[in-house]
Chains A and B, each alone.
Chain A
């Protein structure tokens, strides 16, 4: 089955700097890669996603890149702000049979943005 590895587990940056979180996946058939943000005590919320037929997607200060050959994808946050502090999860969605739509999550990255 699919396995998702996420690095780093913790990341501390100064306000205004960029942050990059990387994930690798094992199943080449996976075709959907979302990123979720989870604030302390809250539910995960989707911030950006990318499909396997796209190499890069951007939404204001956040962007995601996908390298299908290497089976890795990354989240880029520019001009970080204190409110970006949270745990970020990557996920991959296998594309076979009844599992289509299921998400396999990485273990998360705790991002701290220092003012």
Chain B
């Protein structure tokens, strides 16, 4: 199993550009998450999904959009990139919480800089 994979690893955007961060998992997990991690800070939840076709906002959703058309993929879309979106983005997945297996598995991250 590859686990949780993310592309790209690094990206530099100009203000106002848009891009999609890709995330995929091959563990057949129902739940998927997107976090951002600013320097010296913990992880903040952007969006999450409890299954294909279902998404919901987390703590910091403004400026982002997501979709979940399949169990495996959970892309994060940035429209009109702003310097405040400079961060490291982590995707994660987990088996259905409450089953005794709450562990979230994280991808390697995407380092995004907006100039």
Measuring CB to CB, which residues of chain A are less than 8 angstroms from any residue of chain B?
1, 4, 6, 32, 34, 42-46, 49, 89, 93, 98, 100-108
Contact = CB atoms under 8 A, between A and B. Distances in A.
Nearest to A110: B40
Contacts of B96: 101
Interface of B: 31, 33, 40-45, 48, 50, 56, 58-59, 90, 94, 96-98, 102-104, 106-109
Contacts of A105: 42-44
A4 B42 CA distance: 10
B58 A102 contact: yes
A109 B65 CA distance: 31
A105 B98 CA distance: 19
B41 A93 contact: no
Contact of A100 (B45, B98, B106): B98
A103 B107 contact: no
Given A49-B102, A101-B96, A105-B43, 16 more contacts: A32-B102, A42-B108, A43-B106, A43-B108, A44-B43, A45-B106, A46-B103, A89-B42, A98-B50, A101-B48, A101-B94, A101-B97, A102-B48, A103-B104, A106-B42, A107-B42
Contact of B90 (A34, A44, A49): A44
